[in-house]
Amino acid sequence: MEALTPASADDLPPLGELLVDDPFWQYPAWGLAREGVGHLRVWDTATASPGYLAVVTETGGITSVTESSGRIWADLARRFGPSVVLLEHHPAPEFGEDLETLDLVRIGADGSPHWSRVWPTPADNPRHAGLELWMAAHGYQIVGRPASWFDWCEDE
């Protein structure tokens, strides 16, 4: 995937209580496979109006979370409501030079997914500071790293 435009920290709610932690969640897949498998975590949001933030982590199965993100969002919206915020998490490969990434998935009026980068973002991007603060506050719950890990970023 090409370099993504950074998300805005304003689009990312503060996390509340973890409600779902399913490391073998079966999601509706696109293409020949009927289901894919990813690690699903859903938090309620610590905001005035009720909401949810869902993270689906790629686990390396036959179907990718990216290819199925529209169907994943539709499934989560049926369960948690249309205001669910969906993040797509790709851990760094065990071998290779790719970085771990976290992307916000938005669904267009036509049902097609659109991505913006939550982490990592270039340090010179005006949105970097806000995203770095959000990751320092909540990112460790999503990617399993200490908050100090988010004090750096490699430029894309």
- Domain residue extents for the chain: 9-145
Which DSSP letter does residue 6 get? B
pLDDT at site 54: 97
pLDDT band at residue 35 using 50, 70 and 90 as cut-offs? confident
Give the model's confidence band at 51: pLDDT under 50 very low, under 70 low, under 90 confident, else very high. Answer: very high
Query: Tell me, what's the pLDDT at 31?
Result: 63
What would the two tokens of residue 75 be? 């499934």
Q: Write the pLDDT tens digit of every residue in 91-141.
A: 887 666 678 899 999 999 888 899 999 999 888 999 999 999 999 899 888
The predicted model scores a pTM of 0.86
Percent of the chain with pLDDT over 90: 53
Number of neighbouring beta carbons within 10 Å of residue 95:
6
Scanning the chain, the segments in alpha helix (DSSP H) are: 65-80, 128-134, 140-143
How confident is the model at residue 63, as a pLDDT? Answer: 77
The yes-or-no verdict on residue 153 having pLDDT over 50 is no
Question: With bands split at pLDDT 50, 70 and 90, how would you rate the model's confidence at 80?
Answer: very high
Q: Is the pLDDT of residue 155 over 60?
A: no
Torsion sign across C-alpha atoms 61, 63, 66, 70: negative
Residue 28: partners with Cβ closer than 8 Å, 6 or more residues away:
34, 35, 36, 68, 71, 72, 74, 75
